Amino acid sequence: MKKLEQIYEGKAKKVFATDDPSLVIVDYKDDATALNGKKKGTIAGKGSINNRMTNHLMKMLEKNGVPTHFVEEISDRETLVKKVDIVPLEVIVRNVAAGSLSKRLGIPEGTPMRKPVIEYCFKCDELDDPMVNEYHIAAMGWANDDQMKKIAEYALKVNSLLIAYFKNVNVELIDFKLEFGITTDGTLVLADEISPDTCRFWDATTHEKLDKDRFRRDMGGVEEAYEEISSRLLGN
Ligand code: TMP
């Protein structure tokens, strides 16, 4: 597979064309942003950790019936994936109150919820990714009803699978963000990444944060947290 020209650069990843029009190569960066790009920095080793952790989890999900964009890991930082049109939604699943939900609803961080909550945000940097509901999504045509049914079903299935998987390494899955895309043959698949950038992971015993909140909140120990969650999951 030939790596051709760069076709996109996001905050944490670059995407390159390949000689197959249905496939692209994702290249993970160490760059970190928060507050929708207003806070910038670098987390040494993040690109490699996020790439390898995402691939490990995508393979596990695929085996358990969730279709994903994953094709093949090419190097520490690069992965071959199916080319998709991204559905312009951030799909957030929450098990325990934290972050923006705690702020919005005045519920202390760490409060368990009776059942998982799914939230949708419209992917738009200029508007700070505003929260929307199924009616907005259908009205704007961002996804059709059939796609939304599948997105909710996959999101809850990913949640159950990830909760169980992280429990094995004494990690509590607080919440996370998913993105979905449509492949060139029209299939809805899980895309983007599943990493400490996009999930909240707390040590199940000490409740220590093992994710990007350490960067967002200037808590220190950022690289160490990424290393810790990576070694628990990937064993290195
Ligand atoms: P929030 O509490 O800030 O809304 O975040 C919920 C989860 O979604 C958390 O695990 C972090 C993740 N997330 C992203 O990956 N990207 C984003 O742009 C936002 C706002 C949250």
pLDDT tens per residue across span 165-211: 999 999 999 999 999 999 999 999 999 999 999 999 999 999 999 99
CATH number, position 131: 3.30.470.20
Domain count, the chain: 2
Q: Which residue among 122, 174, 177 is best mutated to probe the pocket of ligand 1, counting the most ligand atoms within 8 A of its Cβ?
A: 177
CA of 79 from ligand 1 middle (Å) equals 23
Range of the domain at 11: 3-84
Domain boundary among 84, 112, 133: 84
17 lies in the same domain as 111: no
Domain boundary among 44, 67, 84: 84
Name residues contacting ligand 1 (CB within 6 A).
90, 92, 98-101, 129, 175-177, 198-200
Q: Please, what is the angle between helix 46-63 and helix 145-167, to 10°? A: 110
* DSSP string for residues in 29-67: -SEEEETTTTEEEE-TTHHHHHHHHHHHHHHHHHHTT--
Q: What is the per-residue pLDDT across 75-113, written as a single tens digit (0 to 9) for each? A: 999 999 999 999 999 999 999 999 999 999 999 999 999
Ligand 1 atom nearest residue 212's Cα: 11
